[in-house]
Each structure stands twice: as structure tokens, then as C-alpha cells.
Chain A
Amino acid sequence: MSAGGAGGEATGGIPQNKLIALGTLGGLAGAYGGHFLSVASPAFAFIGALGAICAIVWGGAAVRRVASYGLGTGVPSIGMMALGMGVVASMFGLAVGGIAGPIVAFITAAIIGLVIGVLANKVLGMGIPIMEQSMTEIAGAGALTIIGLSVAMTGTFMFDAVLETVVATGYIAVIFIAGGMAILHPFNANLGPDETQDRTLMTGVEKGAIAMVVAGIVATVADGASAVPTILIGVVIWYIAFSKYVKLVNRDAYKVLGTGLLPTEEELE
């Protein structure tokens, strides 16, 4: 476990290639699994959200790597950019791709991300060696997050249903912010000299679970997806991830002391 910090590459923990595999395969498997199994029973829509969590963890890890170099501005910017690129690419992919929608969206996002990464280094002169790769990863993760959560909300990634239930109703804004938060928040909350990869990624799982619960709540109004399994599984994942996160905080902290409640006014006198 080594520490990330401004000015250098964050290292340690699970190699990035494994996380890329987890995010890509998990994200696509979640989207397709949720889509096809929802035909059998709407209860399986939650698989889409599990795919989104895989993509979120991957995105969080990519943000951690690139933001460790110091972006010159806050970490949130890159998360918002991820979802900005992701939303453009995923709507395009789902609209033109049909059954190949998630794959088309993913590839489109990766291309947009790669070009923006190249521009950041070549035109803006940011000089971050992994910028091209990270931007590609972050855009791809953003697109898969949006698609995964859309599947959890509607039970399908067919564009008509997504447009009707997710976009026209404005829930896409919820996905935008909840998904963006889940990707940007893990590193933003944990950064510093004592940052460790497992703790950061656990925050990602926990934030992803919150997004899953939100998707479940939206699913209450959709026909193709049932809300209860998504909400219940989301709450269970959130609880497990949060307990694990608290354990990791206790492990990484020098000392944890209880200060008790704030003193009342009488006690202060």
C-alpha cells in the first residue's frame, strides 16, 4: 500500500488493467444481463445497476490515477467531464446501435475521451503522461454508468423506453449527478498523503450503491423494471461497503478517539 499525492502517479493495490477489465466486462455484462433477464422477470433489472457499480469503481480508480498528478483544479471537474462525455456518447450509442447500443456507446465515449485526452496534453500542455489513457477510461466508465443505471430504471436499454422513462422525465439529470458524484467523490474524499486504493475504491462501491438505490426509486414508475429488488440489494451493498469503509478508515488512521457529544450550555459554564 503506497500513498498517492499531488505530483506523482498513484500506485499500489489492484493493477489498473484488472480494474479496466472489471469495469468494461462488468459494465457491459450488467447492461446486457439486465436487458435480457428483465424480459423473463422485471425483478432482474437490478443487474444493470450492478454493472454500473463495476463501471463506477473503474471510473473512480481512473480518476484516482490521473488526479494524483494534480489537475490544477478540483477533482470534481473530471467527474463532471466524464458524465458530460458519457451522456453524449451513451445517447448516441443507444439511439443508433439498437441491440449493440451499449457497445457503440462505449466505443464512442472512448474515442471522445481519447481525443480530449490528447488535446489536454498536446494543446493545453497539461503534461500528465497517463492523460490520454485516463480520459479514455473515464469517458468509457461514464457511458457505462449511465447505461447501467438506465437499465436499472427501465429494464432495457432500447432507446424508445430509455427516452420515455429516463430522458423525457428528467431522471437523466439524476443519473448525471449521482453517477458523476460516484465517479469523482471517492478520490475527492480520500485524497491526501495517506490515501490508499482499497479505501478509495470502497467509497466508490458505497456511492455506486446509493446511485443504485436512487435508480430503484425511479423504477417504481417504470413497467419493465421492478423497484424493490434494486432498492433492497442497493441498501445491502451500501451497508456492507460502508461498514468496510469505516473499518478501512480505522485501519489507516493513526488513532481513532471518541470525543463524545458536544457539551451542553450548562456544562460549559
Chain B
Amino acid sequence: MIDVAGIIAENILYIAMVTIGGMLISWSVHFVPVGGAPAAMAQATGIGTGTVQLAAGAGLTGLVTAGAVMAVSDSPLLVVASGGVGAMIMISVTMIVGTWVYVYGVGVPPASAKVDYDPITKDRQDIYVSQGTEGHGLPTVSYVSGVIGGALGGIGGSIIYFALMSTSTGLTQSNLVALASIFAVGIFFVNAVIPSYNIGGTIEGFHDPKFKKWPKAVLASFVATLMCAFVGIITIGGL
């Protein structure tokens, strides 16, 4: 039988890190402008797909870059920073290509229906919103918000990965990488779905009134990730 209390006592710092990572992912989703199916038809502001797909796309890219850097460096800051930058690049590319499609393909100007003036550029928004829609495209504020969301999500994901990789274990390096990755992915998905239920599937960014609901999702993620962190650390630490 494995010494559960011993493993937990030895790795309490990593359990805390995994939990913080999960809470960061949960918070990050509130920044990402997701429009869901309506946005795919240019009838709502944001990227035209679901929260989970976007968070997963950006977050997993962050995991890959964090994993790549971790192979050559032991510095936690470097690993976490590279995870954040990887996710930022991924979400930025998704948003800029999305914007090209909306502007040149669909033929709509990026406009927010939630605010009359873009909080960053101060550009007028309401007169550009087509009738019967909830805005369309990605106005500057949503874009900036999305990049922040990508950074937080990538940092959260790479903190989880780093913590799981640093847990004391008898596993070989390649098995540890595989197990830590799949745990990180599992925890990532759980924490990407919880906030998407909190915001009801769509959000424009940090200027959206729904953004104020984030403490609820972060609290829920805290509890959910703490459980997953115990389970994950005991698994890896016990082998």
C-alpha cells in the first residue's frame, strides 16, 4: 500500500501549484472572446467556436511549448513564461485569421454590442452593429482581452505540468512526461468547461458584464482542481 500521507506531505507545494494553475485557467477563460455558434454565423462578437475548443487549443499549445522548454531548462519561471507565450501566440493567430475571415470574407466590421465605445481605442461601436445581431468580429478590446486570456491559460497549464513533473516519483522520464501530460490535459479540460458554464457559453472579453461573474468559476475550479491535484500527485508520487 502506498504511503498517501507521506506523499501528500512531501509534495504539498506541488498540490498547491496544480490548484493555482487550475484557478488561473478558469479565470483565463473569462478573458477569451468566445462567441460560440452565433459568432460562427457573424451574429455575435467573438471567435466562432466554443470555450472548450479555444481554451484547449491555446492551453495545449502552451503545454507543448512548456514541455519543450522543460526538456532543456530547469527554471520554473522560464517554463511557465514559455507556456504563457505559446498560448498567447496560438490565440493571437486564431483571432487575427478569424478577423480576416469576418472582415474580408463575411464582410462585417468588428463591433461590440456590449459597450458603446471600445474601452481601449474609444471607437464608436453601436452604430456598426448590424440589426438583429449581438455584434460581430473581434474589436480591439476583445483582441487584447483574448491575448491576456491566452497568457493566463498558458501559464496555468504550464504550472500544472511543471508541478506534476517535479513530483518525486520512481517513474522513468518518458513515462513521467506521458503521465504528467495526460493529467495536465484532463485537469485543463475540467477547468475550461467550469467557466464556460459560468458565462453561459459566450463572452466578449473583460469589458463584458458577464466578466464580473469570474469569482464563482474560480471558486468552483479551486475545489474541483484541489481534488484532481490530490488524485494526480498521489498517482505520480506513489509510482
Contacts and interface: CB of A to CB of B under 8 A. Distances in A.
Interface of A: 71-74, 76-78, 80-81, 83-89, 91-92, 95-96, 108, 111-112, 115-116, 119-120, 123-126, 159, 163-164, 167-170, 172-173, 176
B234 A96 contact: yes
B196 A73 contact: yes
B171 to A, nearest CB: 8
Interface in B173-210: 174-175, 178-179, 182-183, 185-190, 192-194, 196-202
Nearest to A86: B186
B189 A83 contact: yes
A88 B228 contact: yes
Given A112-B224, A167-B178, A92 B235 contact: yes
Given A73-B200, A168-B178, A112 B227 contact: yes
Given A84-B193, A87-B182, A126-B197, A73 B224 contact: no
Given A73-B197, A74-B52, 20 more contacts: A72-B199, A76-B53, A77-B197, A78-B193, A80-B56, A84-B187, A84-B188, A85-B186, A85-B228, A91-B183, A92-B232, A92-B234, A95-B235, A112-B224, A112-B228, A116-B194, A123-B220, A126-B197, A163-B175, A164-B175
A81 B216 contact: no
B84 interface: no
B77 interface: no
A87 B185 contact: yes
B190 A116 contact: yes
The 10 A-B pairs with the shortest beta carbon distances in the complex, nearest first, are A73-B201, A84-B189, A72-B200, A87-B186, A81-B193, A119-B220, A168-B178, A84-B190, A84-B186, A92-B231
A223 B217 CA distance: 45
B217 A124 contact: yes
A56 to B, nearest CB: 18
Contacts, number: 132
Contacts of B192: 77, 80
Interface string B83-123: 00000000000000000000000000000000000000000
- Most chain A CB neighbours (cut-off 10 Å) among B201, B202, B238: B201
A231 to B, nearest CB: 25
Interface of B: 2, 36-37, 50-53, 56, 174-175, 178-179, 182-183, 185-190, 192-194, 196-202, 216-217, 219-220, 223-224, 227-228, 231-232, 234-235, 238-239
Nearest to B175: A168
Contacts of B196: 73, 77
Given A167-B178, A167-B182, A80 B235 contact: no
B50 A172 contact: no
17 contacts: A73-B50, A73-B51, A76-B53, A77-B196, A78-B193, A84-B187, A85-B186, A92-B232, A96-B2, A108-B231, A115-B223, A115-B224, A116-B224, A119-B224, A120-B197, A176-B182, A176-B185
B175 A77 contact: no
B197 to A, nearest CB: 5
B178 A170 contact: yes
A80 B223 contact: no
